[in-house]
Amino acid sequence: MEVTRRVRADAGWRSRVEARWARAGRGEPPPRGVCAEPRGFGRIRFEGVDGDLTRFLGEPPSLGLGETGRGLKLLALSGGGAGGAFGAGALVGLSRAGVRPAFDTVTGVSTGALIAPFAVLGSDWDPRLDAAFTDGYAEEVFAFTSARPWPSLYPGEQLAALVARHIDDDVLTAVATAHRAGRRLFVATANLDAQSTSIWDMGAIADTGGTRALELFRNVLVASASLPGIFPPVMLNVENDGRSYQEMHVDGGATTPLFVVPEALLSHHAQGWDGAGVEVFALVNTTLEPTSWLTPNHAVPILVRSFELMLRSSYRSALRSVAAFCAINGFTLRVGSLPPQPAGVSLLRFDRATMTRLFAEGLAVGEAEGLWSAPA
């Protein structure tokens, strides 16, 4: 009788919880400690509680060199709003100069996540990368006529349409091919329910193939770039042990502005990779140095300047962590970042003129082979 009473009480409690989530317009998130995944995809993400460095660096090479004989090259792409146009231009510039590395692993956050698929695919995809940041569609997405006061400044459909415009079946197939060849692509989102970072194995998603894989691939990119308040969260349906859940994900920069490996692994030693010629390239799509000019005493410029200060501080902190990880393991670290911008330039402006100028600036730096430097 006591067991029956408890079962009924538990069922009643769960029913009330599910009704509450339904009234909130969403499904119940996974309970704490439950690792759920989208149905039919297997293990396609890292939540910081499992796995090891081999998932991100691959198996240690037997002869101290990667399979191509040139060591391992890893590219980490940060967020930065419209500054992503600089990073995109820089990669195209490196291609034109004939010095762009063939990256074995690419990681991306926010606007860096939108660059990442084309970065891992290589120079042949530069026309797509160029168009993604300079064709003017972003200006339509961020037009004042598209703004609305609630629940976010811009509708999520706008950003989803931008991603769908450039991420199609051809991109998915190419990423899957790269994944099977051993190259890796990871994108970070912030899981608001769990208050944690989800790092998605985009190559594994692509390798699943089909319409559902393309949909999830796009949704993760949209989530990673959905700055809270600017775009609404992305709801992702997951399951565990036959039970369905729903998670709320936003811009990966909310927790992880830049990553090489998950935060939980930053203090780990990469056994077997000593002297293997590992090179880490961190491309920061914002200005790392302070820019001093008068801030008007009005709400919008104060908000924008504060946001930029927060971004700059978080990126510098993330870079220090990456530098420490590389020092522990004897990896070479090179950093590229957006040069200081003129007074009044905001990386929250996505008009075509601004993004084309930032792309051209990155292009020039890349072509001149002046992008990378040792960390300060």
Residue 63 has what pLDDT? 41
Confidence of residue 314 (pLDDT cuts 50, 70, 90): confident
In this model, does residue 205 exceed pLDDT 80?
yes
Confidence of residue 81 (pLDDT cuts 50, 70, 90): confident
226 alpha-carbon distance from chain centroid: 10
Q: At what angle are helices 126-134 and 156-166 packed, to 10 degrees?
A: 150
Cross-strand partners of 228: 231
Comparison of pLDDT for 329 and 142, the residue scoring more: 329
In this model, does residue 344 exceed pLDDT 80?
no
In this model, does residue 293 exceed pLDDT 80?
no
In this model, does residue 117 exceed pLDDT 50?
yes
> 10 Å Cβ neighbour count for 72?
23
Please provide the average confidence, as pLDDT, over all residues in the chain: 84
* Residues 6 or more apart whose Cβ sits within 8 Å of residue 64: 274, 275, 276, 277
Asked whether the whole model's pTM tops 0.85, one would answer yes
Could you tell me the CA-to-CA distances from 154 to 8, 32, 146, 148 in Å, in that order? 44, 31, 6, 6
Comparison of pLDDT for 250 and 1, the residue scoring more: 250
In the Cβ-directed half-sphere of 117, how many Cα atoms lie within 13 Å? Answer: 29
41-50, 73-82, 91-100: which has the highest mean pLDDT? 91-100
Residue 129 has what pLDDT? 95
- Amino acid code (one letter) for 134: T
Place of tokens 């890349």: 366
DSSP secondary structure of 273-288: -TTS--EEEEEESS--
State mean pLDDT over 35-59: 80
Confidence of residue 136 (pLDDT cuts 50, 70, 90): confident
In this model, does residue 68 exceed pLDDT 70?
no
Cα–Cα distance, 71 to 283 (Å, whole number): 19
**Phi first, then psi: what are they for 125, rounded to 5°?**
-100, 15
Phi-psi region for residue 308, left (φ > 0), alpha (ψ -120 to 50) or beta?
alpha
State mean pLDDT over 342-357: 71
Confidence of residue 8 (pLDDT cuts 50, 70, 90): low
51-55, 262-266, 275-279: which has the highest mean pLDDT? 262-266
Residue 23 has what pLDDT? 45
Residue 308 has what pLDDT? 74
Interval 168-201: pLDDT, tens? 999 999 999 999 999 999 999 999 999 999 999 9
Q: What is the largest CA-CA distance in the chain?
A: 79
Interval 358-370: pLDDT, tens? 999 999 999 999 9
Residue 15 has what pLDDT? 53
Confidence of residue 65 (pLDDT cuts 50, 70, 90): very low
Residue 125 has what pLDDT? 97
Phi-psi region for residue 271, left (φ > 0), alpha (ψ -120 to 50) or beta?
beta
Residue 61 has what pLDDT? 67
- Amino acid code (one letter) for 110: S
Helix (H) / strand (E) element for 17: namely helix 2-23
State mean pLDDT over 341-353: 66
Cα–Cα distance, 225 to 241 (Å, whole number): 30
Burial of 290 (0-12, 13-18, 19+ CB in 10 A): exposed
**Phi first, then psi: what are they for 199, rounded to 5°?**
-110, 115
Comparison of pLDDT for 147 and 309, the residue scoring more: 309
Residue 66 has what pLDDT? 42
**Phi first, then psi: what are they for 333, rounded to 5°?**
-115, 130
Three-state helix/strand/coil letters over 318-330:
HHHHHHHHHHHHC
Confidence of residue 158 (pLDDT cuts 50, 70, 90): confident
Confidence of residue 376 (pLDDT cuts 50, 70, 90): low
Phi-psi region for residue 326, left (φ > 0), alpha (ψ -120 to 50) or beta?
alpha
Residue 49 has what pLDDT? 53
Comparison of pLDDT for 18 and 70, the residue scoring more: 70
